[in-house]
Amino acid sequence: MENSSGQISISYLQPIWAADRYRKNFPLSSIKFQQRLPGFAHEIGHHSAISTAIKDTSITTHEEMENMDIFHVDPYLEKCKDHLFYRWRRYTEQKEAIEKYEGSLEDFARGYLKFGFIREDDGIVYREWAPAAQEAQLIGDFNGWHGSNHSMVKNQFGVWTIKIPDSNGKSPIPHGSKVKFHFKHDNGVWVDRIPAWITYATVDPTIFAAPYDGVYWDPPPSERYQFQYPRPPKPEAPRIYEAHVGMSSEEPRVSSYREFADNVLPRIKKNNYNTVQLMAIMEHSYYGSFGYHVTNFFAVSSRSGTPEDLKYLIDKAHSLGLQVLMDVVHSHASNNVTDGLNGFDVGQSTQLSYFHTEERGYHKLWDSRLFNYNNWEVLRFLLSNLRWWLDEYNFDGFRFDGVTSMLYHHHGINKSFTGDYSEYFGFDTDVDAVVYLMLANTVIHSILPDATVIAEDVSGMPTLGRPVSEGGVGFDYRLAMGIPDRWIDYLKNKSDDQWSMQEITSCLINRRYSEKCIAYAESHDQAIVGDKTMAFLLMDKDMYIGMSALEPASPIVDRGIALHKMIHFITMALGGDGYLNFMGNEFGHPEWIDFPREGNGWSYDKCRRQWNLVDTDHLRYKFMNAFDRAMNALEDSFQFLSSTKQIVSYTSDEEKVIVFERGDLVFVFNFHTENTYDGFKVGCDLPGKYRVALDSDALEFGGHGRVGHDVDHFTSPEGEPGKPETNFNNRPNSFKVLSPPQTCVAYYKVDESLNGIEHEAAEVYKAEEGLDHGAQEVSQLSNMLEGVEDSDLESAEVSEEDEEAEPITADLVTRYPNPIRGR
């Protein structure tokens, strides 16, 4: 709520609902329910053209649907009940049909045990769903690419099968040999395709634009990677490091899974992230697609190594306590024919294809194919794909790409969402896709209850982040995609004095009540060619000449580093329930990302990470990196991202100040370019003594050291007891601080019962640093954390250089005054 004085008061994340302008609901009775009826329980496959209404006494009753939790969480959903009931009925009927004919949803999602190449005791069985094929053969290195002796047999559901017996106890198809599915169109033309369920595919790098080949992957036990470390516990709030393995090398080339594991994972751990999100893992023939035009859904990207190499990476991450998420692309598929899933589409009807036909099956902006989520075998393929990555590779969850495109028939193209609920629940909604996402989240959380699943959705659809059991779609988090857009708009189009504190605050807190968000200031999207990283927007060409710490910073660099820290910190602290950063942006990586392509002479120069910039001690990149480590350490200790206490007590467009509380901390942001506020009054909840927990102006973060870290800030009561309206900015207590321009400071409440320990600890840290009693040259957080042993890295293989640099690992509870908990 904004008052006339420019103050905003929010009590513990109150709901933010869109306007009630739902124009028209369509009645449940007006919609014909159709459910795909599978074949026999013991048959492999199902002809999805058969449909009927499933009538089952176990279907949720209307009364039970009336009492679904989503209606208690969001009262505005009451007007959309008919649509939500229809969606729920579609989900339960689909799930029950699968359970009836396939045993269980979890078993249905193990299609990789039935399709593709299955090693049996006496041979290899290969199955492929290709109902439009007239004849089919398996060809490859093993038979000299002649399939006349390896013809396949088709069943009534369009599934082709062949079993090749062992020869003298040896596999008929050698490990690592190339294979393809050879089949005939109904027009008599034979074509070769990579098997849809292939787990590895390679290309000859010496031949330009060479097609990919499927590879039979079945290494002997001595070459098969064995996981050694269990999955780490699911964090209360994910601090995500988004990374692309291929571009993670300092050298202008494609990096490998093992190089990433050995060289980059220790950096991620050292900066106190708890989650790694890997892009471009699913095989994609076009490197420049950033991994989003997937050709082979069960195969790892062979540019960076083998399946066993990827397992090594994930196991290494788990040894460091990092959970690993995969960027999964089920919103569309590559349009490639020779090496992609699209090659199985030979003009047949949608019931016999992975994709819709005509316009509904084609994304005109992405030049890609769109799945038919109402097809039985498509559901088997996609759900099994999710389980494959969980079971085979030990991934800890997913970030679903392009969810907005899935949710609506218009795919979000040229669509501005106003918050009107009819935009989310109406005839524009692709219920087939929504039901698939509900099934997907059910499978994921059934197999791995602690999985983290994130939706990339820009529309803000209600219920997307609520559990399926409540009637929601089932995601744990959604990306707060409006935040980076706001920052980019400010940096490109507004001078510093035009920045509105109220607009910034409103953007950061504008998220749906009870649906968690991942906040980020910039991801890979903001740095793609044609755009720039945030650091480069702030400092541009001065990054080439002005980043030496051996001389005073120019005004442009000084401002750029200050705002880089402030923007990322306020985004983390106020923008959501988790935080994401793209690889390299933590230290202000310059320029942009540009994959090798004809237009840049196939150059890798902008498709790498220049780690040397942050590793060079006399360059200012180290300051932004140190602040990134420190703010992650602060969150690790105080766990403010998982706190439901979020109160914005003051904003001022004139003063350019934002004050808020999150969890146990009080944050003061001063975006003014010139004004220093001495004795600035800050409202807070609890009385007592407050101290600096993190200061962006500290010298080790490239600041000017103007904030006193040894200062005790004692509170004063505000207003009359029992009369909140008489409080200061609606807060019962206050304390005064010094707030220099373009700085941000987090304060914590000292536990008075540990005052003696606090004083002794402070003196010890000063002695270790060789500082006098009044020194202000080291930030409070670093004082608290200096000298912490790097125990978290003991199980990892790190270089001697890595071992010498101590990570900032937050342990404020045992190392310094114990902050008051009780969130």
Of the residues 242, 259, 401, 522, only one is catalytic, namely 401
Copy the structure tokens of residue 528: 């793609």
Cβ atoms 386, 328 nearer than 8 A = yes
Residues of the chain with CATH 2.60.40.1180: 644-815
DSSP symbols for 204-233: -TTSTTPPPEEE-----GGGS----SPPPP
Of the residues 327, 432, 456, 758, only one is catalytic, namely 456
Burial of 760 (0-12, 13-18, 19+ CB in 10 A): exposed
Q: What is the Cα–Cα distance from 564 to 557, expressed in whole angstroms?
A: 10
Copy the structure tokens of residue 573: 């602290």
- Residue 788, amino acid: V
Copy the structure tokens of residue 677: 């506020």
HEC assignment per residue over 468-488:
HHHCCCCCCEEECCHHHHHHH
Copy the structure tokens of residue 114: 């039935």
Q: What is the Cα–Cα distance from 748 to 820, expressed in whole angstroms?
A: 9
Copy the structure tokens of residue 244: 């692309």
Label the pairing between strands 190-193 and 159-165.
unpaired
Q: What is the Cα–Cα distance from 310 to 227, expressed in whole angstroms?
A: 11
Could you give the strand order of the β-sheet that contains 116-120, starting from the edge strand earlier in sequence? 116-120, 123-129, 159-165, 153-154
Copy the structure tokens of residue 799: 């270089």
Q: What is the Cα–Cα distance from 554 to 588, expressed in whole angstroms?
A: 16
Nearest-CA neighbor of 761 among 694, 820, 812?
A: 812
Q: Is 31 helix (H, G, I), strand (E, B) or coil?
A: coil
> Rg (Cα) of the chain, in Å, rounded?
28
**Structure confidence at residue 348 (pLDDT):** 84
Residue 213 makes CB contacts below 8 A (sequence gap 6+) with 178, 179, 180, 194, 201, 202, 203
Nearest-CA neighbor of 214 among 128, 132, 337, 299?
A: 299
Q: How many CB atoms lie within 10 A of CB 509?
A: 18
Cβ atoms 346, 298 nearer than 8 A = no
Label the pairing between strands 333-334 and 368-369.
antiparallel
Q: Is 793 helix (H, G, I), strand (E, B) or coil?
A: helix
401 is catalytic: yes
pTM of the model: 0.86
CATH superfamily of 644-815: Golgi alpha-mannosidase II (2.60.40.1180)
Burial of 492 (0-12, 13-18, 19+ CB in 10 A): exposed
Q: Is 643 helix (H, G, I), strand (E, B) or coil?
A: coil
Q: What is the Cα–Cα distance from 311 to 715, expressed in whole angstroms?
A: 53
Q: Cα separations (Å) of 438 from 45, 73, 369?
A: 22, 19, 21
Q: Which residues of 259-282 are buried (b: 16+ CB within 10 A; e: fewer)?
A: bbbbbbbbbbbbbbbbbbbbbbbb
Stated as kind and residue range, the H or E segment containing 653 is none
DSSP symbols for 346-379: SS--GGGSSB--GGGGEETTTTEE-B-TT-HHHH
Cβ atoms 329, 319 nearer than 8 A = no
Q: What is the Cα–Cα distance from 524 to 515, expressed in whole angstroms?
A: 24
**∠397-403-406 over CA atoms, to 5°?**
130
Copy the structure tokens of residue 497: 């004095």
Cβ atoms 697, 705 nearer than 8 A = yes
Label the pairing between strands 51-52 and 116-120.
unpaired
* pLDDT, tens digit (0-9, with 9 covering 90-100), for 106-127: 999 999 999 999 999 999 999 9
**How many alpha carbons fall within 13 Å on the CB side of residue 554?**
14
Q: What's 554's DSSP letter?
A: P
20 is catalytic: no
**Structure confidence at residue 526 (pLDDT):** 81
Nearest-CA neighbor of 6 among 437, 504, 488?
A: 504
Copy the structure tokens of residue 469: 């059991």
DSSP symbols for 723-773: -GGGSBTTBSEEEEEEE-TTEEEEEEE--GGGHHHHHHHHHHHHHHHT--T
Residues of the chain with pLDDT under 50: 1-59, 756-823
Q: Is 592 helix (H, G, I), strand (E, B) or coil?
A: coil
Residue position matching structure tokens 């890609």 = 368
Residues of the chain with CATH 2.60.40.10: 111-223
**Structure confidence at residue 169 (pLDDT):** 87
Q: What's 47's DSSP letter?
A: -
**Structure confidence at residue 801 (pLDDT):** 40
Copy the structure tokens of residue 27: 């009645």
Cβ atoms 174, 164 nearer than 8 A = no
| Architecture in CATH for domain 111-223 | Sandwich (2.60)
Copy the structure tokens of residue 813: 């509870």
Could you give the strand order of the β-sheet that contains 646-652, starting from the edge strand earlier in sequence? 646-652, 657-662, 665-670, 743-749, 689-695, 713-714
Q: What residues pair up with 554 in beta bridges, in sequence order?
A: none
Stated as kind and residue range, the H or E segment containing 694 is strand 689-695
